[in-house]
Structure 1
Amino acid sequence: MIKDFVRKRSINVCLVNTGGCNGCDIEIVSCLAPRYDIEQYGIYVHNNPREADVLVVTGPVTGAWEKRLLEIYEKTPEPKIVIAVGACALSGGIFKEGHIHGPVDKVIPVDAKLPGCPPRPSEIISAVVSIAPDALAAKEKLLNQKLKEEKNKVKA
């Protein structure tokens, strides 16, 4: 019961690589290691976009990923918060001259941009933590609405 309470009031992040070199992904995964321990801030990484509050997108959007990224974004529940991480996600990076459909913000709306090739784990954590209050407030509002609806059903 306590675990469910904490998980509902934590930030759940889904990592999506749309065709980059995995440099940013390695830095994001290092956020889970004991040195940075992102979970101490109540931030949990999932692979399921249906559980995510925040999508962390790395890499330029390739042709194979354009439609998939839209699908993942649509599957993500409200509030949909997107953080584009790394030079490739922001501008195409080293893949700019290749066959890419552009940076992430040309495919889905981006709420926060984190430059770097790759950005440091501390910068990634700062970006997620800075966006967390908005996500938590919106999530809490949705939880309260659901609780009110359930109470009204019980009364009726």
Structure 2
Amino acid sequence: MLHILSERLRQGHRTGKFPQQEPTLSERFRGLPQITPNLDQQQQSAAVASCPFAAVQSVAGQLQIDVGRCLFCADCPVAELGALEFSHDYRLATRSRDDLLLGDETYRLAEKLNKRMLKLFGRSLKLRQLSAGGCNACEADLNVLGTLVFDLGRFGIQFVASPRHADGIMVTGPVTENMRSALLDTYAAIPEPKLVIASGACAIGGGPFRDSPETNNGIGDLLPVDLYIPGCPPHPYTALDGLLRLLNRR
């Protein structure tokens, strides 16, 4: 017992100081995309054609990135053309699907819930996580939030085993056909009022499986979404930042 206690003292306090202190991220981390200004039409057309997931479009003569579709590829062909670069900004979550469409305007981060919902969930939020055909990358990074580094529970947020004990549902995966009814049944089992969170490119817009006959292109046309957390997968700090903004803790 003395050995265990001395080892704990040696290891010290491991929980991060977020959100009071900004996290230190790897140099390889790919955060919010930044569009290269003053691209001509030929450069924009080349950028649009090079993205394999149709995350880049040319709108009214301006390059636009759908952050919800973007997979933040390590070998991004659009970045290789010089049309964009990835910043180290991990703050990506939004309340609206349209806010994920990034042009030359300021990226609009997630806003807090309304007064009634904040009163209900601001200090205690229980979520049922549902994997609707995901590859387990998003699920793994959400699981990390329960470790002592992030300690999601210190903010009053917990993942629960039953939808009947939950205040909302956090969905990952593109919603495969065999998970569609499970998703809807889980949502129906959560008592009102309830929240819906789409975590990851697949849940937001189908990800690399978009337009497959076996998937539903995410949950947007199935459930009313309250928070979008983009990424493939979203970094744990991206998910935590979005949740805290939703609860007016950022």
Q: The TM-score by the shorter chain falls in which range?
A: 0.7 to 0.9
Contact in 1 for aligned 2:168/2:195 (Cα 8 Å): yes
- The answer to whether the 8 Å contact 2:211/2:217 transfers is no
Task: Name 1:77's counterpart in structure 2.
Answer: 191
Q: Does 1:31 align with 2:151?
A: no
* Structure 2 counterpart of 1:143: none
Once structures 1 and 2 are overlaid, which stretch shifts more, 124-133 or 59-68? 124-133
CA offsets 1:50-70 (integer angstroms, 9 cap, x no match): 111121100001111111111
Indicate whether 1:106 and 2:221 are aligned.
Answer: yes
Q: TM-score, normalised by structure 1?
A: 0.76
Point out which structure has higher relative CO (alpha carbons under 8 A, 6+ apart): 1
Q: Shift of residue 97 of structure 1?
A: 4.6
Equivalent-residue separation in structure 1 for 2:209 and 2:161 (angstroms) = 25
Q: Which runs of 5+ in 2 are unaligned?
A: 1-122
The correspondence of residues 132-151 of structure 1 with structure 2, limited to 5 A, is: 132=247
Quote the residue 2:124 is aligned against: 10
Alignment counterpart, residue 89 of structure 1, candidates 203, 208, 223 = 203
Q: Partner letter of residue 53 of structure 1?
A: D
Structure 1 residue 16 displacement after superposition: 0.5
Counterpart residue identity of residue 77, structure 1: P
Q: Percent identity?
A: 37
Q: Please report the RMSD computed on the Cα atoms of aligned residues, expressed in angstroms.
A: 1.3
- Quote the Cα distance in structure 2 between the aligned partners of 1:107 and 1:100: 12
Write the deviation string for residues 109-155 of structure 1: whole angstroms up to 9, x where unpaired. Answer: 1111111000111111122222235xxxxxxxxxxxxxxxxxxxxxx
**1:45-64 residue pairs with structure 2 within 5 A?**
45-64=159-178
Does 2:224 correspond to 1:124? no
Moved more, 100-109 or 24-33: 100-109
3-state SS of 2:247 partner: helix
Larger CA Rg, structure 1 vs 2: 2
1:4-32 Cα distance to aligned partner (Å, 9 max, x none): xxxxx511111000001011000000000
Deviating above 4 A after TM superposition, structure 1's stretches of 4 or more consecutive aligned residues are none
Deviations 1:69-102 (A, max 9, x none): 1111111112210110000011111112532122
Q: 1: distance between equivalents of 2:168 and 2:141? A: 17
1 CA distance for matches of 2:167 and 2:245? 14
SS in 1 for 2:216: strand
